[in-house]
Structure 1
Amino acid sequence: MNKKVFLLLITIVSALGGLLFGYDTGVINGAQFYLSKYFELDAAMKGWVVGSALLGCFVGAIVAGPLSIKLGRKYSLIISAILFTISAWGSGLPSFFEESVTLLVIFRIIGGLGIGIASMNAPMYIAEIAPSNIRGKMVTYYQLAIVVGFFVVFLATYFIGNNLTEAENIDFGWRRMFWSELIPSGLFLILLFFVPKSPRWLALKGNDSAALQILNKIHGVEEAKKEIVEIKNSFEKTENKVKVNYFSKGILAIIVIGTALSVLQQFTGINAVLYYGADIFEKALGFGKEDVLAQQILLAFVNLVFTFIAMFTVDKFGRKPLLYIGSIGMILGFLLLGVSLQQDAVGFISLLGVLIFIGSFAMSMGPIVWVILSEMFPNKIRSVAMSVAVAAQWAANYLVSQSFPMVMESEANNSAPWNGSMPYFIFIAFILVIIFLTYKFIPETKGKSLEEIEEFWKE
């Protein structure tokens, strides 16, 4: 098989973990209106059902590190695919506890475990198999898959719900929405058995011959020989250490920088806009509920287009330039939205601000954070360090999701001078921190092998 085709196929298969990330996160948004009526949920329980998966995501990201070291990236992804499948099946399963929502929450948490494991292992696996000159583009497939997952599940839940009456949706339609995930999760599970193990994980375990075989298929014989030597050298520099000290000054600094970048991805406010998009359009921008479909399609389309822009420029322009450009765009978008709210001049400018923010995020902090996280950590600590960074990201996701509606509804936000704009200026402050962190601490990793990037931290 052609090297490029082989690399593309295994990248697409592993990126399906991102599609399921988007699908599993998004399916609850389509189903929650009907299941809330079915179970007669109050506001607190509705929030728990919707947010419970984030608890699983957090725990999944924590266990993903040790799991990845012990079993490898491939088998960790297989476990995540099994969890996705169990969650999809169980979430729509009629049970003996029809009056209780407990079983649904349990299966949502199981799905969250799958997301947490996949969100760490999928981009890391892609980074470890991809050649350095196209690694950014390959890892960006993961973010593209997340965006596609959101878009596909939106269409799937709309198609299911639109072909049933409201009474049928309340009775069983929402179950079919969950079961629709069985198709991509089953496909992901089957195809994973045909992808190779990570050559860097094999080398970590001392299986150099198997690692070299896989590198030969990806890079060709000569380049593979050079790469296996670099990989072995990176391990030999620390082989005399029985155990890596994660709290040593150098290693802890790398983990803190990566974790800060990961957390700041959520502090841009992206999930506040995505999770509460309908509320923002209705309350802040004055649109009616009947426009929700068009609004979501518009957001999804902009998200998708600008993710493609990132994919085809990340290895040309580099990681840091895209972070700078995207950060400036996000600030501009929120300034347009915030000022229009302050001036009580909500309209086209406000909508434009939201779309500029979404597009700017989609070409920068969305995909580039996954690229940098998958690249920046040295071989010896990559699994554990990425596990910490991704777990912290899920914790930040939960914090923003819980605090955003409280800030939105606060008395201070809804009186002068803010007039509903306070959250967006808070997000602007965090985006300014991203610019500083990128300038001061983030290395430019474009075109460098993972072992060359490792040397940056020793300078």
Structure 2
Amino acid sequence: MKKKSYLLLITVIAALGGLLFGYDTGVINGAQFYLSKYFELSDSLKGWVVGSALLGCFVGAIIAGKLSAAIGRKNSLIISAALFTVSAYGSGLPDIFPETVSVLVFFRIIGGLGIGVASMNAPMYIAEISPSSIRGKMVTYYQLAIVIGFFSVFLVTYFIGNELTQSENIAFGWKRMFWSELIPSTLFLLLLFFVPKSPRWLCLKGKYLEALKVLEKIQDPETVKKDLQEIKASLKNESTDTNKINYFSKSILVIIAIGTIFSALQQFTGINAVLYYGADIFEKALGFGQEDVLKQQILLAFINVVFTLVAMFSVDKFGRKPLIYIGSIGMIIGFLLLGVTLQQQTVGVASLIGILIFIASFSLSMGPVVWVLLSEMFPNKIRSVAMSVAVAAQWAANYIVSQSFPIVVGSDVNNNSFWNGSLPYFIFIFFIFVIIVFTYKLIPETKGKTLEELEDIWE
């Protein structure tokens, strides 16, 4: 029981990287209305301020692989926590500099770097410390933390905004929204100094005795030596120096390509189109006014949390691939409801139900399961770099979807008499069908296997 409690504690600490991921991504949604008026932003400049963090996310994910391989998962997370803290503090200070908008964007990019580094290292760290029997559940804590971050930041920005008048929110309320992130980011930074290093990274560096001590703290005695032997065996006769590994060899390139495509497909479900532009979708579908935006965000975030919890307690019982199939079917049904009601111009309760079914289905499947599979499927020797590439591709896909969605929505084709605003959702349905086929053909079932046993799948 003591070992399980310790494992849970360090998992929760690492998962705070996910909470900050969700918090930092969500805080801009609450603050942008007021800061846009403060800076008198044009539509194009507003898009740049809101989306600038994605640039940092992409770069952060790219550098995270080499960083993680060199200094370890724990130290990489410490760097990400420091970046979150600097970003949160600096985002509230742009008015003391001459080029105010540029400074705000600069600090948002720093926050994006933190997200990029954390989004790769946190789930990988959790996977590397967790026993195979509960690894899926433990990694799902990361996705749960992301959606809790989204949910909590909507509540925080709501309470900050409600305590002030609109003029006060425009003058300084949005700064407080950014500064509110200092609480979780500082807590994350301090707690990370108390977690152990990843035993698999220690083995990669030849520190087997130190790795053994970590395994003894988190696993049952009868499995410790067996796991250590498997880790050693997986590294035997293999180069552990990432600079000497040929990542362009056919065997390695295929593995990385499968993980990268799968990671990017998560974004082509349309999840961030719904989360980023949910207010616009609700307004058009149901005629809700702007005063209901926060309620809509809280509703979506609540559904996200509930079904991520369902996934957490299902992923090790039913497996990864069954959840993807079930969730994909649910996502298709949800978008069909929304798309058909828009196309037939019969928007109403069915449209709302469609959006909620989609969110619930994504939270049950592609939301958490992608992070679980990415943290499991890559062999020890290439895991940090391969996952870095896969996560960077996910951020690139995020950017493509979030930037192209409003363009497609406003296009003449989408607004003709046939589509009536429904085209984007049928495009997303096509990609969800691709996910089903891709998963069936190329994604291995990783349930119940050690990270070292999974390497045999690719032989």
TM-score strictly above 0.5: yes
Q: In the aligned structure 2, how far is the partner of 1:94 from the partner of 1:386?
A: 34
Tell me how far 1:293 sits from its aligned partner. Answer: 2.4
Q: In the aligned structure 2, how far is the partner of 1:153 from the partner of 1:377?
A: 33
Q: In the aligned structure 2, how far is the partner of 1:71 from the partner of 1:200?
A: 13
Q: 5+ residue gaps in structure 1?
A: none
Q: Is the Cα–Cα contact under 8 Å of residues 286 and 346 in structure 1 kept in the other structure?
A: no
Q: In the aligned structure 1, how far is the partner of 2:76 from the partner of 2:374?
A: 18
Q: Secondary structure at the match of 2:150?
A: helix
CA offsets, 1:86-132, max 9 Å, x none? Answer: 00000001543356301000000000000000000000000000000
Asked whether 1:143 is paired with 2:147, we answer no
Aligned to 2:396: 395
Read off the aligned partner of 2:115 and give its amino acid letter.
I
Structure 1 residue ranges (4+ consecutive) displaced by more than 4 angstroms after TM superposition: none
Aligned to 1:38: 38
Aligned to 1:247: 248
Q: Is the Cα–Cα contact under 8 Å of residues 284 and 420 in structure 1 kept in the other structure?
A: no
Q: Secondary structure at the match of 2:444?
A: coil
Tell me how far 1:240 sits from its aligned partner. Answer: 9.1
Q: Secondary structure at the match of 1:133?
A: helix
Read off the aligned partner of 2:298 and give its amino acid letter.
I
Aligned to 1:191: 191
Higher deviation after alignment, 264-273 or 280-289: 280-289
Q: In the aligned structure 2, how far is the partner of 1:384 from the partner of 1:407?
A: 34
Aligned to 2:123: 123
Higher deviation after alignment, 107-116 or 231-240: 231-240
CA offsets, 1:33-73, max 9 Å, x none? Answer: 11111111000100000000000000000000000000000
> Structure 1 residues 240 and 33 mapped into 2: Cα distance closer, same or farther (>3 Å)?
closer
Aligned to 2:232: 232
Q: In the aligned structure 1, how far is the partner of 2:142 from the partner of 2:192?
A: 15
Q: Secondary structure at the match of 1:268?
A: coil
> Structure 1 residues 265 and 193 mapped into 2: Cα distance closer, same or farther (>3 Å)?
same
Asked whether 1:165 is paired with 2:165, we answer yes
1:97-136 aligned within 5 A: 97=97, 100-136=100-136
How many percent of aligned residue pairs carry the same amino acid? Answer: 76
Aligned to 1:366: 367
Asked whether 1:430 is paired with 2:431, we answer yes
Tell me how far 1:244 sits from its aligned partner. Answer: 1.2
Q: Is the Cα–Cα contact under 8 Å of residues 338 and 352 in structure 2 kept in the other structure?
A: yes
Q: In the aligned structure 2, how far is the partner of 1:260 from the partner of 1:237?
A: 29
Q: In the aligned structure 1, how far is the partner of 2:259 from the partner of 2:105?
A: 31
Asked whether 1:82 is paired with 2:82, we answer yes
Tell me how far 1:231 sits from its aligned partner. Answer: 0.2
Read off the aligned partner of 2:110 and give its amino acid letter.
I
Asked whether 1:381 is paired with 2:382, we answer yes
Q: 5+ residue gaps in structure 2?
A: none
Q: In the aligned structure 1, how far is the partner of 2:240 from the partner of 2:387?
A: 23
Q: In the aligned structure 2, how far is the partner of 1:257 from the partner of 1:57?
A: 21
Q: In the aligned structure 2, how far is the partner of 1:92 from the partner of 1:98?
A: 14
Tell me how far 1:301 sits from its aligned partner. Answer: 1.3
Q: In the aligned structure 1, how far is the partner of 2:240 from the partner of 2:102?
A: 50
Read off the aligned partner of 2:426 and give its amino acid letter.
F
Q: Is the Cα–Cα contact under 8 Å of residues 204 and 240 in structure 2 kept in the other structure?
A: no
Aligned to 2:64: 64
CA offsets, 1:387-432, max 9 Å, x none? Answer: 0000000000000000000000101101121100000000000000
Read off the aligned partner of 1:317 and give its amino acid letter.
F
Q: In the aligned structure 2, how far is the partner of 1:418 from the partner of 1:444?
A: 38
Q: Is the Cα–Cα contact under 8 Å of residues 77 and 118 in structure 1 kept in the other structure?
A: yes
Q: Secondary structure at the match of 1:419?
A: coil
Aligned to 1:296: 297
Q: Is the Cα–Cα contact under 8 Å of residues 18 and 122 in structure 2 kept in the other structure?
A: yes
Q: Is the Cα–Cα contact under 8 Å of residues 129 and 218 in structure 2 kept in the other structure?
A: yes
Q: Is the Cα–Cα contact under 8 Å of residues 239 and 381 in structure 2 kept in the other structure?
A: no
Q: Is the Cα–Cα contact under 8 Å of residues 58 and 391 in structure 1 kept in the other structure?
A: yes
Asked whether 1:55 is paired with 2:51, we answer no
Tell me how far 1:222 sits from its aligned partner. Answer: 2.3
Structure 1 length-normalised TM: 0.98
Read off the aligned partner of 1:186 and give its amino acid letter.
T
Q: In the aligned structure 2, how far is the partner of 1:79 from the partner of 1:99?
A: 27
1:215-294 aligned within 5 A: 215-239=215-239, 243-294=244-295
Q: Is the Cα–Cα contact under 8 Å of residues 323 and 364 in structure 1 kept in the other structure?
A: yes
Q: In the aligned structure 1, how far is the partner of 2:431 from the partner of 2:326?
A: 15
Asked whether 1:155 is paired with 2:162, we answer no
Q: In the aligned structure 2, how far is the partner of 1:174 from the partner of 1:98?
A: 19
1:319-334 aligned within 5 A: 319-334=320-335
Tell me how far 1:291 sits from its aligned partner. Answer: 2.0
Q: Is the Cα–Cα contact under 8 Å of residues 73 and 197 in structure 2 kept in the other structure?
A: yes
CA offsets, 1:424-443, max 9 Å, x none? Answer: 00000000000011000000
Q: Is the Cα–Cα contact under 8 Å of residues 39 and 99 in structure 1 kept in the other structure?
A: no
Q: In the aligned structure 2, how far is the partner of 1:95 from the partner of 1:412?
A: 42
Read off the aligned partner of 1:207 and give its amino acid letter.
K
Q: In the aligned structure 2, how far is the partner of 1:24 from the partner of 1:381?
A: 29
Tell me how far 1:221 sits from its aligned partner. Answer: 2.4
Q: In the aligned structure 2, how far is the partner of 1:20 from the partner of 1:280?
A: 26
Read off the aligned partner of 2:442 and give its amino acid letter.
F
Read off the aligned partner of 1:47 and give its amino acid letter.
G
Read off the aligned partner of 1:361 and give its amino acid letter.
F
Read off the aligned partner of 2:194 and give its amino acid letter.
F
Q: Is the Cα–Cα contact under 8 Å of residues 408 and 414 in structure 2 kept in the other structure?
A: yes
Q: Secondary structure at the match of 1:101?
A: helix
Q: In the aligned structure 2, how far is the partner of 1:165 from the partner of 1:290?
A: 15
Tell me how far 1:294 sits from its aligned partner. Answer: 2.2
